[in-house]
Structure formats: C-alpha cells, structure tokens
Structure 1
Amino acid sequence: MSQNSQYQDKVSWRRKYRPYIVAGVLAFVLTMFVAPEINEGTAMEPTIKDGQVLVITKTSYSAKRGKPDLGQIVVLEKTLAPEVSEDNIIGRVVGLPGDTIEIKDGKVYRNGKEYVTKNGIKGADGSLKVTVSEDDVFLLSDNRSQSDTDSRNKKLGPVPMREIKGNVQLSIWPFSDMGRVDK
C-alpha cells in the first residue's frame, strides 16, 4: 500500500465520521454547562406550569464565588431536603445574604419594604421573620399558597447557595410555552 493511499484512507475516515465526532463533542460540552429539568407540581405557577420542560444553566454559588440575582429562578438539588420533595425544588430568590425577610398579613417584606416580583406575584401564608445568613438565600415559590417546597418550610428554611444546581433559562416544552423564562 502506498503512502498516498494510506493518507487518502485517513482523510476519508475523518470525512465520514466528522459529523458524529462533532455531535459527540458538542453534546459533551453542552452537558457541562446546561441541563434539562422537568417541573413537577404547581408550586411555580403561573410562571412555570406542571410538566413544563426547562433548560437550566449549571451555576455554582457561594459567599466567595458570587450569589444569584434577586428574583432569579433557581433549581436545588433533590438531595437537599428529600423529606420536603422527591424531586428537585424550583424557587425564586427573594432574599440574599444579609437580607431580613418578613412575612406578615399575607405580604412579603424584604428589608422592611414590600417585595413584589415583575409578574405581580406577592403575598404568602403564615408569619415569619428571618435574617438570611452569609452563605444562604431565601426562596419562595410563585404559587405562594404552597409553602411546602420553599424556605417557609422549617425542614428546608433558607437554602445554602452551594446547593443550587443552576438557573432556569428557557422553557422548551410544551411548544406553546417555549421561550425565555422571565425573572
């Protein structure tokens, strides 16, 4: 076999398998930075509905690395509070390190001022006052009548930032709800 023939075999092999190699590398890179997540339950309605498939960007937070944005929708690892939820918990960040969160008379207050999200969601059941520690965030679900899967639950409480799996970015299913998930 001539040297030219061996070169042609290598080139044709590369051309033949290039799409598969590119797809494999792309899939590997994407799984390092993004992940799918299926919302189970109605805790985040009306923003995120039951059964909606979401794309999250994998992000890690801590007091030293940075903290999530106020109003950011985040996903927590299911290992954080298995007695609270059988699946990952999705919630909205309403309290950052150092903030005082108070719930009274059906309203949420952050540092003494009423907290209302962009989509007008406000209110919460019960009464509570907590100062968020340096390594934690306070999460609330958008369906505030459900306090079992957010920081109002005594088994969960303010959440360590290191337990945040990522930020919710997009909805990809159902197609009627496809698009960016607003803060």
Structure 2
Amino acid sequence: MKESRQSNWKKELFEWVRIIVMASAIAFFINTCIIANSRVPTGSMETTIMPGDRIFGSRLAYKLGEDPKRGDVVIFDHRTGPGPEETRLVKRIIGLPGETVDIRNNQIYINGSETPLHEPYLPEKMDTEDYHFEVPEGCYFMLGDNRNNSADARYWPDPYVPENKILAKVFIRYYPGIKAIH
C-alpha cells in the first residue's frame, strides 16, 4: 500500500512537471514567434499609448505578405544614441522606403506635396524645427505621436529604421484596460 501511494505521488509530480514544461515551451514560442509583448516606458506616443501601458504586437503581420504602411504603430529595435546599443522602441511609421519627408512650419509633407500629412492622432500641434529626410530603400522613418515630447528619428544618429529591425505591428493595449491601437 505504501509503495502504491509513493508511486502515485511520483506519477502526479511527473505529470505536473510535464504540464509546466509544455506550458513554458508554448509561451516561449508564442512570445518569440507570434506575439511581441512590450511595456511602454515614456510618453512619446501619448495619447495613443500612455506611459506604463502594456501592448501586444503581431510578429506575423509583416511576414505574411503585408508591408509596413504609413500610420502603423510598430515595435522595433534601433540605435538611438552614439553607442552601439539598440533600444526597443514603439513609434508610428511616417516615411516609407524611397520617400522624402519634410517637416516645415510644424507639419509633415511627403514627397514634396503641398498638402500636409493628415495626422488626427496627434495630441497637440507639433512645435519643432524644420527638417528634410530622404528615406533609403528598405528603411522607414518613425516619429512619436507626442512630437513635442518624443525622442524620435529627428534626433537619432541614424534616423532610418531598416525593415528587418521592425519586430511587430502593435494591435492592442491590454493593460490598463483593452484598447485597439490604430
């Protein structure tokens, strides 16, 4: 009888270990291949995403035939300072490969257009210097929605993000509360 209890206890323990290992493997696979889970540390994307928000991005969005589009909010790795270290960032795509992006009179103009880019997501009017950017092929130009308080491409040593550094397209904020991200 004692051996039977000990045998059952060992089987039970083995089953629990097996379940935990399988759950961990599934979570690891989902987090590295399907979903990017990030916490937003700064206010550079206010009011679309607030400091402390937790977001999910789809790692498959751009691997299944869709190309990154202007207006997409993305998670990416990029060098933002003089050193070689990359930082994980969340910003909005403004300039596409091969485009020119001009910032003049606190508005954005794409490819020399006389009509400024329509940006209803901005929390307030941008107050910035004038800039001219020529986005190389295979790269994107990113800005935060809270332009007056965003350390974005205007200030990086290399303002262009290669497509292979884009990790995911943000689609939902899950904390605090659920909100679709556009």
TM-score bin (small chain): 0.7 to 0.9
2:131 corresponds to 1:133: no
Aligned to 1:51: 52
State the 1:58 CA deviation: 1.9
CA-based RMSD of the aligned residues comes to 3.1
Separation (CA, whole Å) in 2 of partners of 1:137 and 1:86: 16
Separation (CA, whole Å) in 1 of partners of 2:134 and 2:86: 27
After TM superposition, list the pairs within 5 Å mapping 1:18-33 onto structure 2.
Answer: 20=20, 23-31=23-31, 32-33=33-34
Aligned to 1:92: 92
Separation (CA, whole Å) in 2 of partners of 1:140 and 1:130: 12
State the 1:88 CA deviation: 1.7
Separation (CA, whole Å) in 2 of partners of 1:156 and 1:61: 23
Separation (CA, whole Å) in 2 of partners of 1:60 and 1:162: 13
Contact persistence 1:95–1:110 (CA under 8 A): yes
Separation (CA, whole Å) in 2 of partners of 1:158 and 1:136: 6
- Deviations along 1:44-103, one digit per CA (max 9) or x if unpaired, are 0010100101111225969xx86411100111215x335599842211001101111100
Return 5+ residue gaps in structure 2 as ranges. Answer: 1-7
Structure 1 residue identity aligned to 2:35: V
Structure 1 residue identity aligned to 2:180: R
State the 1:25 CA deviation: 5.0
Separation (CA, whole Å) in 1 of partners of 2:69 and 2:51: 24
Structure 2 residue identity aligned to 1:159: V
2:157 corresponds to 1:155: yes
Aligned to 1:106: 106
Contact persistence 2:59–2:167 (CA under 8 A): yes
Separation (CA, whole Å) in 2 of partners of 1:60 and 1:169: 10
Structure 2 residue identity aligned to 1:168: V
Name whichever of 100-109 and 163-172 sits farther off. Answer: 163-172
Separation (CA, whole Å) in 2 of partners of 1:154 and 1:28: 32
Aligned to 1:36: 37
Return 5+ residue gaps in structure 1 as ranges. Answer: 1-8
Separation (CA, whole Å) in 1 of partners of 2:179 and 2:168: 17
- Deviations along 1:148-168, one digit per CA (max 9) or x if unpaired, are 2x2111413122222212111
Contact persistence 2:44–2:145 (CA under 8 A): yes
Contact persistence 1:108–1:124 (CA under 8 A): no
Give me the identity figure in percent.
24
* Dislocated runs of 4+, deviation >6 Å: none
Compared CA separation, residues 36 and 147, structure 1 to 2 (3 A)? closer
State the 1:26 CA deviation: 3.3
Compared CA separation, residues 136 and 101, structure 1 to 2 (3 A)? same
Separation (CA, whole Å) in 2 of partners of 1:163 and 1:81: 13
Contact persistence 1:61–1:161 (CA under 8 A): no
Name whichever of 22-31 and 40-49 sits farther off. Answer: 22-31
Compared CA separation, residues 110 and 50, structure 1 to 2 (3 A)? same
